[in-house]
Structure 1
Amino acid sequence: MRVCSPAHIKAYNSHILRYVGGLKDIFPGTSLLPNHHAALHIGDGLTRFGPGHSHGSSFYERYIAFFHRIGINNKSGQLEISLLRAAMRYANLRSILEDDEEIRETVAELVESMEAINRQDLRGYRLADLLDPTTSDLDRPEKGTPSTLPPDRYGLLCELLLQEGRAGTTNDVLSFARVSHDGLCYGVCNSPHFRNSSVLFRLKADDGATVHAGIISQIFCHKTGETNGWYLVIQEHIPLQRPGFVDPYRRYGFASGYLCEEEPTATHVIRLSDIISHFALTPMPQAGAIHVMALDQTMTSLELDNSGYTFA
């Protein structure tokens, strides 16, 4: 969440108190843990300090999982000191490059690589870069792979272009494994960037009023006339609608997500700008379903008062 309001904080406090209060009823024999106690104070932190990015650190957010996975060889503290030194050196290097134009020109490739890394995924303090008018809203890898859209995908692209009053002239495109837009990275499901392939999106066919969940199977750049457009092929997972089945998560509202069919049921071609946010995908094979939890950092679809969206 990039912003929060008293309504969000009140809703969180209500839900966490209900959860902790009923924990022993849901899971008999379970003991309350320190993280349950800490969770009860998150509302206090939001009230005093605002959203997490205002008092978090992107450097340590990035490496916290790394600390949990590696062996420290009984030398606690040495790795942390090394990372702190690396962070300080990086900060000093950026300061030098910002102040000295001559050095920037000498190491132009290094500067370009550093800026590309910074734009890949904005977290923590780096969310402020979204407000920087000099920050590009689109970052892509240097090279794409020339490819030809199969007839079914090209047909979907033509339908989308016709809705915009244009026509597709060729099915030749450049395909990419990932692309960053507005500071967030999106990747193809069969690539090393598969963790960024689960997205919520809008469809022009329903005027963008319904939120759909799907997996990115292709990212491509298509040229129409003199304009390059960025598009994604999405495999949609529709919400569970089985006879006699009631989704147990929906009654808890925005905080609990919802269930979708395990197998995709439809294919869409959408614009990159039609993505709303990522979502956390949890497989539930025993039910033949997946659980979808929106990860909307900019609060475009999870406003408590009136978002204008309905989930499919």
Structure 2
Amino acid sequence: MDLVTAVITANMRTTSKEQIATYDFHITCYMQQAHQLYPDVSIKPIHHAALHVGRMLEDFGPVHSHSSPYYKRYINFLHCMNTNRKPGGQLESMMMMMSARNANLSALLADNTALRNKVSEIVDILAKFSREDTQRLARFGEFEPSSEIKLGLKVELARLDDCYYQKLCSQLSATMLVDRNPSFYDEILLHGISYGCAGTSKIRNSPVVFHPAATTVDADTPILAGVVERVFQYTTPLFTGIFLGIWSFQPVDSALDPYRQYGFAGGFLCFRNVNDYHVILPPAIVRATSRWPTVQA
């Protein structure tokens, strides 16, 4: 679990001095205990390298910006450049110039809406080029820095379920809403991560860990495990908002849960039955997961 904690900490999309200290502590504990458990196994170069990851996080930030997939994408970008086979040191300077030119053009197009509209065809070509993943390593969507929320395909549903309707009224501080027919969608893209709905083909992306609604998110805010069942957009003459309808699992008592002793990396155990229904705003999602360790109630 020291190794699991270190790996999860090192692969977070944000970093801090506290996280770096956590990584250094757990990777050191892992190395010490592994040597005690397996004294006949020699230390490998990868173990030595792992002890320097904390310094890498301090110098360069989160690993997704400088890990192997990033360099694989950039190498592919360089391979696609027209260098004209320049000899004698000219090749390197030309690649640097072309790379800087591409970066400046991308920044210009990102900041100038009027220019983007005039050269929309070029924008589409650049977007396609930047997302090219010839070696299946780029996973561009996961590293998309934009905080824009994007919705998937519309789903035909008659009306909002009673359980979510009541929670939505509470969320909006309203006793009753005139319209119970919002627009439903099969998934939502938040910070480059896709969250699907349990009742659609995107069911594999539906399990989430989230903060319940109407709470101030801080270190002491409770975290629940659940499944996204509804993604919907509710619109009134004065308000438009995107919401997620989630049903949560019932947590096992902490005294009986063997996972909690390992902190955030260990997670927590839940009963398989539905404990409650929630309507939350997208930022309340903590993370997605692909599988839950649950117990039968």
TM-score range with shorter-chain normalisation?
Answer: 0.5 to 0.7
State the Cα distance separating 1:206 from its structure 2 match. 5.8
Structure 1, residues 180-222: CA drift from partner, whole Å, max 9, x if none?
A: 2354432224555445433222223666631112221221122
Could you tell me which of 12, 25, 30 is aligned with 1:14?
25
Relative distance call for 1:163 and 1:217 in structure 2 (3 A) is closer
Q: Residue 161 of structure 1 aligns to a residue in which SS?
A: helix
TM-score, length of structure 1 as denominator length = 0.61
Relative distance call for 1:83 and 1:154 in structure 2 (3 A) is farther
Alignment of 1:105 with 2:105, yes or no, is no
Relative distance call for 1:35 and 1:261 in structure 2 (3 A) is farther
2:167 counterpart residue number = 159
Contact kept in structure 2, 1:157 and 1:269, CA below 8 Å: no
Alignment of 1:288 with 2:295, yes or no, is yes
Relative distance call for 1:103 and 1:215 in structure 2 (3 A) is closer
> What residue ranges of structure 1 are gaps of 5+ in the alignment?
64-79, 131-136, 290-312
Aligned residue type for 1:239: P
Q: Residue 204 of structure 1 aligns to a residue in which SS?
A: coil
Relative distance call for 1:164 and 1:26 in structure 2 (3 A) is farther
Could you tell me which of 247, 254, 260 is aligned with 1:235?
247
Q: Residue 259 of structure 1 aligns to a residue in which SS?
A: coil
Alignment of 1:145 with 2:158, yes or no, is no
2:89 counterpart residue number = none
Alignment of 1:171 with 2:180, yes or no, is yes
Contact kept in structure 2, 1:237 and 1:260, CA below 8 Å: no
2:286 counterpart residue number = 277
Structure 1, residues 11-53: CA drift from partner, whole Å, max 9, x if none?
A: 2111111122223666798775554333222112123323324
Cα distance in 2 for partners of 1:27, 1:191 equals 47
> What residue ranges of structure 2 are gaps of 5+ in the alignment?
1-11, 83-97, 132-139
Alignment of 1:36 with 2:47, yes or no, is yes
Could you tell me which of 275, 279, 291 is aligned with 1:266?
275
1:186 counterpart residue number = 195
Contact kept in structure 2, 1:175 and 1:221, CA below 8 Å: yes
Q: Residue 38 of structure 1 aligns to a residue in which SS?
A: helix
Alignment of 1:27-176 (within 5 A): 34-56=45-67, 59=70, 85=79, 92=102, 95=105, 98=108, 104-105=117-118, 107=120, 111=124, 114=127, 121=141, 123=143, 126-127=144-145, 129-130=146-147, 137-141=148-152, 143-149=153-159, 153-166=161-174, 167-176=176-185
Q: Residue 49 of structure 2 aligns to a residue in which SS?
A: helix
- Pick the structure with greater CA Rg: 2
TM-score, length of structure 2 as denominator length = 0.64
Contact kept in structure 2, 1:169 and 1:224, CA below 8 Å: no
Structure 1, residues 100-150: CA drift from partner, whole Å, max 9, x if none?
A: 9678436469649949x98x8452xx53x55xxxxxx32224x52332236
Contact kept in structure 1, 2:248 and 2:278, CA below 8 Å: no
Q: Residue 23 of structure 1 aligns to a residue in which SS?
A: helix
Relative distance call for 1:163 and 1:6 in structure 2 (3 A) is closer
Q: Percent identical across equivalent pairs?
A: 23
Q: Residue 268 of structure 2 aligns to a residue in which SS?
A: strand
Structure with bigger strand share is 1
